[in-house]
Structure 1
Amino acid sequence: MITSVKIVTQVKLVPDAVQAPAVAATLHTVNGLANWVSEVAFVNGAPREYELRRHTYAYLKEQGLGAQVAQHVIKKVRDAYTTLHANIRAGNLGKPGSKRRRKAESKPVTFRPEAAQPYDDRCLSWQYDARTVSIWTTAGRLKNMRFACSPQALKVLQQYRKGETDLVERDGVFYLIAVCEVPEAERYEPDGFIGVDLGIVNIATTSTDYQAAGRHLNRYRKRQLALRAKLQKKRTKSAKRRLKERSRREARHVKNTNHVIAKTIVTEAERTGRGIALEELKGIRTRVRLRKPQRVALHCWAFAQLGDFIVYKARRAGVPVVFVDPAYTSQQCCECGHIDKKNRVSQSLFTCRNCGVVAHADRNASRNIARKGDAAWTAGRESRVPATP
């Protein structure tokens, strides 16, 4: 059975002077009606999708929505409540009775006027050669609407696009975000593992001596933090708008940095025929106790995003990935295996109290992670010993 990796491909819509108002009005209309459906769901205790459809479908049709679009609006609302309840059960909105949780439970889910609206193939069709789309709007079907994207993105769309596509507006610009299912490459048997130590001072350090320094990113975040503080003091509408713009800009910058790092690590593993060993850091923010300045750095640390990027790029390339326990990787000597808290002299210096090895602390940790990855892979493989007759 061939498995696939789900990725999203974003293209920019380029509507003309007549098409742009129709697209904007469509988004505002469907999200306004989604807010009405959300109120109905809230009053009725967020029923199942079929029951919610019974309460709302006829009214949505009366407001001029097509059958498919009305179904998507109802499903979007139902999915939003499913996500809300999952976050509540997981404790992501605080403990029972907390202010944040009470606020989330006391009012209906709301949608911004520019929020994403899903489209299926009945509401949206693609003409790849002409780089145009035909899309449903409240003003009727709009044909020959141009879109722009890179040649690589166009190739992925042509070969692997499957499922729904979201229409979204950001800063007055319209985008289509399409789901693509890319087949995984066949996973090979690794000749050893590359250990990846994730951190804040150094974003990623590998056992092959590749190091992605976090100096530039940390300075960028510090500068953005100071600018946000200045804007927050103003409390004006323009300041709030600028805050949103800066927040999105910072997120894009961090995302691009993580993409570059992930691609470098996966390419090195594929070239050398090795696998990748990553630390299992889930829940680290709740496990560690830090001073206030350190908390800011920890909560800005996008280690989960970097890990996800490495995993999906590795799956596309057929590179094996294992997750290992990070316990004592920074205190254990990669040469003799001696574990001592005093071995970690400083953030960057590791000196073994047993054998005297001196090394960069992150490189030492990455080599320990590589060894653990090799052991985990060996332990997880199926036995090749013939069965006893």
Structure 2
Amino acid sequence: MKIKLLPTAEQTELLLETFREANLACNAISEVAWEKRIFNKFKLHYQLYDSYKGKFGLSSQMLVRAFTKVAHAYKLDKKTKRAFKTMGSITYDARIMTYKQDHVVSLWCIGGRQNIRFICHNPDYIPYLKGEADLVYKKGKFFLYQTLDIPEPAAQDISGFIGVDFGLTDIAVTSDGGKHSADWMNQYREKRQKVRSSVQRKGTRNSKKLSKRLSGKERTTSAIINHTISKSIVKSAKDQRKGIAIENLTNIRFSSKPRNKKFRTKLGRWSFAQLRSFLEYKCRLNAVKLVVVEPGYTSQTCNYCRYIGKRTNKVFKCTNKNCKVDVIDADFNAAQNIALLGVAVNLPERYDRYSCTVHY
């Protein structure tokens, strides 16, 4: 959970000084780790704790967290020396962080503990705060990214699945008729791209400040929209006592057909993975079953007769002359197929619901 801190002017200076000192210690530890090729946090602790305890103005536990941060940074690979930014995030645990009543958190800072007020998007989750938290300084504001330990409710019995088809023209189309258009988001992204290009082309000091101030707005807007869409889909599935079936779109950027630059740009900004992650955790919170199916031919197969038809952009046409389906929205057709695949995956004994006669 993202928690916004509301420090006073004095507390702000203490927090900033804590950031500087903690990351200064991390860089010093990283220097030794790189030179002596010691990347284990316990060995680093044994080698440096006594000498660094008096060298930096950090508490014992904060120095221990610095050893852990450096060791974790080298877990990715040991081919590059790690350097830490002055305002890089720092980790707090239960020994140096305590939550109190009335939305107050006690954090260790240079100069002693500070009781700092905070706000969060969902106060109902406060009793479930547990474990470590990352303190982040971003655009003049302080945030705690706190781990939650929420008990999962018991799964409910389901009567079927709602298929969800992800796309570029429509962000999500569901088999129960729901549609979330991407028109506004695509226009917003094009507008932001023009603004960025105009600002970057100037290259002045003020333009760089403006570019820095505007950074992240598009990403934040996209996340808000994905939260709204995923919340709506999960609520609909819960009300209907159904599960949710989605496509596995991993590596879709590499497997899609090569097209022009404009399409590649739109595909690169497609945040389907974020929408999927939001659906996954919201389903777990609401005890809604979620299954992932393969996307192959879902938009090219008729959901009524299972014939391979012809898709042209948003239009699907069945090639079976005896089929009742003639022309249908391609994404809605895909969502129907995904829903049936969800049943086949969740209940293998009912595989015949997604099958067709073999014609010779």
Report the Cα distance in structure 2 between the residues aligned to 1:138 and 1:149, rounded to whole angstroms: 25
For the 8 Å contact 1:231–1:243, the answer to whether it is kept is yes
Match of 1:336 in 2: 305
Q: Residue deviations 1:130-180, cap 9 Å, x none?
A: x222211112222x3222334xx22211x2011012211111111222111
Counterpart contact for 1:15–1:145, Cα < 8 Å:
yes
Deviates more, 1:44-53 or 1:109-118: 44-53
Task: Measure how far apart 1:380 and its partner are.
Answer: 8.7
Give the TM-score normalised by the residue count of structure 1: 0.84
- Are 1:110 and 2:110 counterparts? no
Paired with 2:194 and 2:349, the residues of 1 have a C-alpha distance of 48
What is the CA-CA distance between 1:215 and the residue it aligns to?
A: 0.5
1:205-354 paired onto structure 2 within 5 Å: 205-291=173-259, 292-340=261-309, 343-344=310-311, 346-354=312-320
In structure 2, distance between residues paired with 1:240 and 1:258: 29
Partner of residue 147 from structure 1, selected from 95, 111, 118: 118
Give secondary structure in 1 for the equivalent of 2:82.
Answer: coil
Q: What is the CA-CA distance between 1:44 and the residue it aligns to?
A: 3.3
The residue aligned with 1:198 is: 166
CA deviation profile, 1:312-341 (whole Å, cap 9, x unmatched): 10011111111001000111011110014x
1:22 aligns with 2:14: yes
Quote the Cα distance in structure 1 between the aligned partners of 2:58 and 2:291: 48
Matched residues in 2 for 1:39 and 1:245: separation?
A: 33
Deviation at 1:115, TM superposition (A): 1.9
Runs of 4+ with deviation above 6 angstroms:
none
Residue pair 1:324, 1:373 contacting (<8 A) in 2 also: yes
Distance 1:335 1:250, change over 3 A: same
Higher RCO (C-alpha under 8 Å, 6+ residues apart): 1
Deviations 1:352-388 (A, max 9, x none): 111352111100000010011110001299xxxxxxx
Q: SS of the residue aligned with 1:18? A: helix
Contact 2:39 2:74 in 1 (8 A): no
C-alpha distance in 2 between matches for 1:128 and 1:229: 47
Matches within 5 A, 1:64-75: 64-75=57-68
1:370-389 aligned at under 5 Å gives the runs 370-379=339-348
CA drift at 1:270: 0.5
Compute the displacement of 1:237 (Å).
4.2
1:42/1:365 Cα in 2 relative to 1: closer, same or farther (>3 Å)? same
Aligned-pair identity in percent equals: 36
- Say whether the 8 Å CA contact 1:205–1:366 is kept in structure 2: yes
Q: How does 1:83-102 map to 2 (within 5 A)?
A: 84-85=76-77
Q: Which moved more, 1:326-335 or 1:108-117?
A: 108-117
Deviations 1:206-254 (A, max 9, x none): 0011111001111111111111112222334443343333231111111
Cα distance in 2, alignment partners of residues 359 and 60 from structure 1: 69
CA separation of 1:69/1:323 partners in 2, compared to 1, >3 Å: closer, same or farther? same
User: Which residue matches 2:104?
Assistant: 132
State the one-letter code of the partner of 1:36.
A
1:51 pairs, out of 40, 43, 66, with: 43
**Following the alignment from structure 2 to structure 1, what is the Cα–Cα distance between the partners of residues 33 and 296?**
46
Which letter maps to 1:338? Y
Contact preservation (8 Å) 1:128, 1:154: no
Per the alignment, do residues 110 and 332 of structure 1 end up closer, same or farther by CA in structure 2, a change over 3 Å counting? same
Query: Gaps spanning 5+ residues in structure 2: where?
Result: 351-360
Distance 1:237 1:38, change over 3 A: farther
Q: Which moved more, 1:174-183 or 1:317-326?
A: 174-183
Q: 1:289 to 1:236 in 2, by over 3 A?
A: farther
The alignment of Structure 1 onto Structure 2 pairs a total of residues equal to: 345
The one-letter code matched in structure 1 to 2:153 is: A
1:339 alignment partner, SS class: coil
Structure 1 stretch 118-127 or stretch 41-50: which is displaced more?
A: 41-50
Instruction: Kindly report the root-mean-square deviation, in angstroms, between the aligned alpha carbons of the 2 structures.
Output: 1.9
For structure 1, the residue ranges without an aligned partner over 5 or more in a row are 1-8, 86-103, 382-389
Alpha-carbon deviation of 1:269? 0.5
Is the alpha carbon distance of 1:359 and 1:114 closer, same or farther for their aligned partners in structure 2, counting shifts above 3 Å? same
State the distance in 1 between where 2:28 and 2:349 align: 51
In 1, the alpha carbon distance for the partners of 2:132 and 2:99 equals 12
Provide the secondary structure at the position in 1 that maps to 2:106: strand
CA distance in 1, matches of 2:349, 2:32: 50
TM-score, scaled to structure 2 = 0.91
Letter in 2 for 1:360: D
